[in-house]
Amino acid sequence: MNNSPQVLVIDDDAVDREAVRRAVIRPGQNTVIHMAATGKEAIGLLQEKKFDCVFLDYHLPDMDGISLLRAVYDADTDLPPSPIVMLTGQGNEAVMADALRWGAQDYVVKDNISRDTLGIAMAKAREMFELKKSRRQAEEQLRQAQKMEAVGQLTSGVAHDFNNLLTVILGNTRILTRRLQPANGELSREDLMKKVQTIEISAQRGAELVRRLMVFTRQRAPKAEVVDINFCVQETAELLSRALGETVETRMVLNDGIWPVQVDVGQFENALINIAVNARDSMPQGGKLTIETHNVVVDDEYTFRHPDVVAGPYVMIAVSDTGHGMPPAIARRIFEPFYTTKPQGQGTGLGLSMVYGFIRQCGGYVHVYSEEGHGTVFRIYLPKLAGEGEAVVDNMPDALPGGSETILVVEDDEEVLAVAVKMLTQLGYKTFTAESGRTALEILKSERENISLVFTDVVLQGGMNGAELARKVQEYYPGIKILYTSGYTESAIPDYKLVEGTELIGKPYRKAALAAKVREILDGKQGETGHERESARARH
């Protein structure tokens, strides 16, 4: 075992090499100095041996120092194979910045080579290298542990599925065995064939289930790839629909022409499964899980309640459940690490915080919308890959259709109410506001002549929901038009009886979409507008 510090000096100038050697060796330490005069030679050494520190001159006969760094840089760990200190000329800041970018831990200006400077640089390089390496390893372990936790949550469903497949295999085998005894009579060739095929199909389904689990649990460095999100969702959903148990119905609404995005597929699947497992846990009596994909263009107005979001084109993946929902106090904290509402031992509280971390890393966002008793929607926004397809910019402010009518806005969330009023006011409309169905009816009593449209949230606190309000409006004030809004996606809206012929605009809505929808309803036009995906006719 050799405990002597191993140092590699990469420099083609013998004088410089000697200067470094002298500065590095310490009395009492058997430092072993390795030398390389060319980049090619150095790359070979770096790849075959670990060094405690490498001093790399920028000027080499066959390449520059940055090219060498890039050649040995490992993108997965963001590190070179060994700690590296770059040696540069005076005042070459660009090179220094590049060196750090490509994995070097430190740099020293050649004029300043001394025992002290190199000693400090070497200590710093080694420490930073080790810190980063162990942090990467810890992150990787956490990711894997998290994934295994998610898989663990799925195993009960998978076991159930396997037991069914095995029942079929064993049951058919038994018939074949029985009928092999002459006393029980022979089976026809056709029956024989059918039984053997059933066994084969079941075994293949089992193998496919194992394959999916293995794909999901494979350990590999995260790597962002350009992917078709619909394909990823489909692959995962198949595992999910089997694993979530029979009481959860998994539905998919995958729109065509979804923009490509760049994500690590494994982590994306992990995120979906995490959200799905949470959804399942919120539906102990069973229910529906809906996964949707949409292209959306986020404009400045979307920043209502979401000031962290950058405007632009995104692919939105919405996961809705019909579970018990959660109060705002929990929804606000749901992405916090170690925050869990599950009994001790049943959740680490890390699942959704990892989802959050991963999606932010991709330059995306994840938001949760939930009302107690009405289910939950997670919306994942992944930025559209730059330069792919054409983003539809339809939010030219001066092109928006406005009006001067008066609109009664009914919304129990103060912030959302404020934003709606702001948008409508900017479009020229006058507004009344109410935070409950009751208040809305009172306002209607006195202002019925002035109000042209009631714009109401579907889910309202205070005993009367938006659908009930709308029915009363239709009954008492048939001339007044109705527009619903809801934080639930069109496919997952709570099962209220919405008034026939009325329309709904999904939250969060863009100003352009609201402007178009309001004008369309006030003008009495029916039917959907082509460019707003989250609006839909009310259904029964």
> What is the rounded end-to-end Cα distance, in angstroms, of the chain?
78
* Shorter beta-carbon distance to other proteins: residue 40 or 179: 179
Q: Which of 163, 204, 255, 450 touches other proteins by CB under 8 A? A: 163
Q: Which of 22, 115, 160, 223 touches other proteins by CB under 8 A? A: 160
In Å, how far are 87, 107, 108, 326 from 111, measured between CA atoms? Answer: 9, 12, 8, 64
* Shorter beta-carbon distance to other proteins: residue 178 or 223: 178
Q: How far is the CB of 318 from other proteins (least distance, A)?
A: 23
What torsion do the CA atoms of 213, 157, 263, 292 make, to the nearest 10 degrees? 140
Provide the 8-state DSSP code for 459.
Answer: S
Give, in degrees to the nearest 5, the angle at Cα 38 between 35 and 40: 110
Regarding 172 and contact with other proteins (CB under 8 A), the answer is yes
Q: How far is the CB of 282 from other proteins (least distance, A)?
A: 16
Regarding 175 and contact with other proteins (CB under 8 A), the answer is yes
Regarding 286 and contact with other proteins (CB under 8 A), the answer is yes
Q: Return the residues of window 440-459 that contact other proteins according to CB under 8 A.
A: none
Residue type, 181: Q
In Å, how far are 49, 96, 147, 240, 292 from 320, measured between CA atoms? Answer: 52, 49, 21, 14, 8
Q: Return the residues of window 197-236 that contact other proteins according to CB under 8 A.
A: 198, 202
**Which range in 115-123, 154-162, 214-222, 482-490 contacts other proteins by CB under 8 A?**
154-162
- Kind of pairing, strands 406-410 and 287-298? unpaired
* Shorter beta-carbon distance to other proteins: residue 199 or 536: 199
* Shorter beta-carbon distance to other proteins: residue 177 or 361: 177
Q: How far apart are CA 198 and CA 193, in angstroms?
A: 9
Task: For the chain, give the number of residues.
Answer: 540
Q: Which of 22, 50, 115, 174 touches other proteins by CB under 8 A? A: 174
What torsion do the CA atoms of 159, 160, 166, 172 make, to the nearest 10 degrees? -170
**Which range in 5-13, 223-231, 239-247, 490-498 contacts other proteins by CB under 8 A?**
239-247
Structure-token match 């999904």, residue found: 506
Task: Kindly give, in sequence order, each residue whose CB lies less than 8 Å from that of residue 456, ignoring residues fewer than 6 positions away.
Answer: 409, 410, 411, 437, 440, 466, 469, 470, 482, 483, 484, 485
Q: Which of 14, 94, 166, 210 touches other proteins by CB under 8 A? A: 166
> 445 burial class (0-12, 13-18, 19+ CB within 10 angstroms)?
exposed
* Shorter beta-carbon distance to other proteins: residue 32 or 176: 176
**Which range in 38-46, 169-177, 329-337, 349-357 contacts other proteins by CB under 8 A?**
169-177
Regarding 245 and contact with other proteins (CB under 8 A), the answer is yes
Handedness of CA 464, 467, 470, 475 (dihedral sign): negative
What torsion do the CA atoms of 425, 318, 142, 219 make, to the nearest 10 degrees? -140
Regarding 179 and contact with other proteins (CB under 8 A), the answer is yes
Handedness of CA 452, 457, 461, 467 (dihedral sign): positive
Regarding 41 and contact with other proteins (CB under 8 A), the answer is no
Q: How far is the CB of 211 from other proteins (least distance, A)?
A: 19
Q: How far is the CB of 284 from other proteins (least distance, A)?
A: 11
Q: Which of 89, 119, 171, 479 touches other proteins by CB under 8 A? A: 171
- Kind of pairing, strands 287-298 and 312-321? antiparallel
**Which range in 69-77, 166-174, 498-506, 525-533 contacts other proteins by CB under 8 A?**
166-174
Regarding 348 and contact with other proteins (CB under 8 A), the answer is no
Tokens of 158: 């998978």
* Shorter beta-carbon distance to other proteins: residue 150 or 444: 150
Provide the 8-state DSSP code for 384.
Answer: B
Task: Kindly give, in sequence order, each residue whose CB lies less than 8 Å from that of residue 257, ignoring residues fewer than 6 positions away.
Answer: 295
**Which range in 149-157, 356-364, 424-432, 503-511 contacts other proteins by CB under 8 A?**
149-157
* Shorter beta-carbon distance to other proteins: residue 137 or 155: 155
* Shorter beta-carbon distance to other proteins: residue 59 or 288: 288
In Å, how far are 239, 253, 273 from 242, measured between CA atoms? Answer: 5, 18, 12
**Which range in 60-68, 172-180, 386-394, 463-471 contacts other proteins by CB under 8 A?**
172-180
**Which range in 95-103, 118-126, 244-252, 308-316 contacts other proteins by CB under 8 A?**
244-252
Regarding 342 and contact with other proteins (CB under 8 A), the answer is no
Q: How far is the CB of 533 from other proteins (least distance, A)?
A: 30
In Å, how far are 215, 279, 353, 375 from 341, measured between CA atoms? Answer: 30, 13, 14, 16
* Shorter beta-carbon distance to other proteins: residue 163 or 219: 163
Q: How far apart are CA 21 and CA 122, in angstroms?
A: 13
Q: How far is the CB of 209 from other proteins (least distance, A)?
A: 12
Residue 53 dihedral angles phi and psi, to the nearest 5°: -160, 150
**Which range in 158-166, 216-224, 297-305, 446-454 contacts other proteins by CB under 8 A?**
158-166
Structure-token match 């390496």, residue found: 133
Q: How far apart are CA 300 and CA 485, in angstroms?
A: 19
Total residues at interface with other proteins (CB under 8 A): 29
Q: Which of 25, 95, 128, 158 touches other proteins by CB under 8 A? A: 158
**Which range in 160-168, 302-310, 325-333, 473-481 contacts other proteins by CB under 8 A?**
160-168
* Shorter beta-carbon distance to other proteins: residue 166 or 392: 166
Per CB under 8 A, residues contacting other proteins are 155-168, 170-172, 174-175, 178-179, 184, 198, 202, 245-247, 249, 286
